[in-house]
Structure 1
Amino acid sequence: MINDETRRKLREIQLEEMIQAIDRQAKDTIYATLSFDERMKMIVDYVYQEKHNKRVISLIKRARFRIPNAAIQDVFFAERHLDKDLILEIAACSFISNNQNIVVCGFTGSGKSYLACSIGKEACKQGIRTRYIRLPDLLMEYSEAKIQPNGQSRELKKYTNYPLLILDEWLITDLSDDELHFLFELVERRYDNGATIFCTQYKIEEWHARLGGGVLADSIMDRIIHGAHIISSGSINMRDFVLNL
């Protein structure tokens, strides 16, 4: 058993998990037959796993997922006629290190948000900082930031720096010129510098008009669509489907 002073020092350097591992070994005689190296390896493995688990929980909480319980293994691939191989490949999260975007298209209730959140959670499990936000909420945050000194610059920097950003309800509302310029700056700064998942009810060919139909629309779309994975969220209403299970 370790004494109180050693426990205090371990807690001071944030190694409460090490105390737990040592106490567990002290209470079970099976560990007495193991060598020092074997016991130390088990302690380190336990501490590493516990800290990793806590970091994942923290990342998921800070991501602010709309559906925090979403899980990739619970996606109804066959029923929704989804490309399972593609989605599982995406869920492995190499698209993030490759700075690729994902566009999830589908009608209301088709499970776009669930799919995006489940991919986002897989990113968190790999230690990747992720943030989910609805586009209307993001635009509201940006507008409210005007009253703070350099508030809009900080807001732009904040959402630029997430390795994975999930923008739900993409283009659900009409955009002002100021909002269009903000979105251009955001996608420009994130281009080749991060991955973004866009969830939208609108087909890509409808985006240009909803983005104002001008040069900014061209620029925004080019930076989003180039090299992106396009996913249809399926042809069934998942809210009705789940209720009837």
Structure 2
Amino acid sequence: MNEQQTIEKLNWIKVCTMAKEYSRQLKNPEIQSLSFDERFGLLVDSEWTARQNKRLANLVRKAGMKYNCAIEEFVFTPERSVNKQTIMQLSSCAWIRDNLNVLITGATGSGKTFLGCALGNTACRNGFKVLFKRVPRLLTDIAIAKGDGSYNRLMRELKNIKLLILDDWGLNVFDHAEGRDLLEVIEDRTQVNSTVILSQLSIDDWHGLFTDPIVGDAVLDRLVHGSYQIKLESKESMRGFNFQRA
């Protein structure tokens, strides 16, 4: 079997990066000094890296996050009053493995969405499925699903997402139906998967968002218990920073 046939067969079995690496090795005389195991290791490493990168890209794309950013890009300033050790601890994703929640509050432009997306990207890098949703859009999706018969499928999908990031929590008061819908989502995920909430309102004000106070009690009990709570302070809006869109 000649080299070209080997390359064609590698492409046919869909290890295309390995085929490219093999072709590169054929053109590099210095490679010939390596042992078979060393050359084969280079082939496998190239294919493994390419597949890992593709998987990460797919996870990030499906997550639908507003920003493509990293924890390392988060700006720590004294006025933000953010504990750097806490953020670095969250970057380990141990809280996701433990099915805990993160509640991030702060004024408009304080960097809530950026930090939420940074946590989401870190989760993707660790192989977790992530979904970013604005709460108004989520509630609309649920209402539509109830009408077209896809409600049960949507709820299963939301339950099985390892990290659900909900932005714009508290832009509007939740009526009875919306409150119950949110309770169903949060209840399904409690002690099973993790949720990040991003809100302009202080956690103390969240109960007043629910028209039905009993539902409000149930939702907050499930979200707040054992959660990480981060309040972002910022005298200067962070919207002027050049954050890359996902």
SS in 2 for 1:103: strand
Q: Is the 8 A contact 2:65 2:132 kept in 1?
A: yes
Using the size of structure 2 for normalisation, the TM-score is: 0.92
* Structure 1 residue 30, shift from structure 2 partner: 1.5
2:178 corresponds to which letter in structure 1?
E
* Structure 1 residue 241, shift from structure 2 partner: 5.8
* Structure 1 residue 132, shift from structure 2 partner: 0.5
Alignment of structure 1 residues 10-21 onto 2, 5 Å: 10-21=10-21
SS in 1 for 2:44: helix
CA distance in structure 2 between the partners assigned to 1:99 and 1:12 by the alignment: 41
2:181 corresponds to which letter in structure 1?
F
Q: Could you say which residue in structure 2 is the equivalent of 1:208?
A: 207
List runs of 5+ in structure 2 lacking aligned partners.
none
Q: Could you say which residue in structure 2 is the equivalent of 1:3?
A: 4
Q: Is the 8 A contact 2:134 2:167 kept in 1?
A: yes
Alignment of structure 1 residues 33-44 onto 2, 5 Å: 33-44=33-44
Determine whether 1:86 maps to 2:79.
no
* Structure 1 residue 190, shift from structure 2 partner: 0.2
CA distance in structure 2 between the partners assigned to 1:122 and 1:177 by the alignment: 35
Alignment of structure 1 residues 56-205 onto 2, 5 Å: 56-68=56-68, 70-79=69-78, 80-149=80-149, 151-205=150-204
* Structure 1 residue 168, shift from structure 2 partner: 0.4
Aligned residues: 240
* Structure 1 residue 11, shift from structure 2 partner: 2.8
2:56 corresponds to which letter in structure 1?
V
Q: Write the deviation string for residues 160-191 of structure 1: whole angstroms up to 9, x where unpaired.
A: 11001100011211212111111111111100
Using the size of structure 1 for normalisation, the TM-score is: 0.92
CA distance in structure 2 between the partners assigned to 1:47 and 1:65 by the alignment: 27
Q: Is the 8 A contact 2:7 2:23 kept in 1?
A: no
List runs of 5+ in structure 1 lacking aligned partners.
none
Query: Any runs of at least 4 consecutive aligned residues in structure 1 with deviations exceeding 6 A, and if so which?
Result: none
Q: Could you say which residue in structure 2 is the equivalent of 1:45?
A: 45
CA distance in structure 2 between the partners assigned to 1:203 and 1:221 by the alignment: 13
- What is the CA RMSD across the aligned residues, in angstroms? 1.7
CA distance in structure 1 between the partners assigned to 2:108 and 2:237 by the alignment: 9
CA distance in structure 1 between the partners assigned to 2:127 and 2:3 by the alignment: 32
* Structure 1 residue 71, shift from structure 2 partner: 2.0
Q: Write the deviation string for residues 12-31 of structure 1: whole angstroms up to 9, x where unpaired.
A: 43211110111121111121
Q: Write the deviation string for residues 69-107 of structure 1: whole angstroms up to 9, x where unpaired.
A: x22111111353321110011012111110000000101
1:3 corresponds to which letter in structure 2?
Q
CA distance in structure 2 between the partners assigned to 1:10 and 1:188 by the alignment: 47
SS in 1 for 2:230: strand
CA distance in structure 2 between the partners assigned to 1:170 and 1:188 by the alignment: 17
Q: Is the 8 A contact 2:176 2:210 kept in 1?
A: no
CA distance in structure 1 between the partners assigned to 2:40 and 2:88 by the alignment: 36
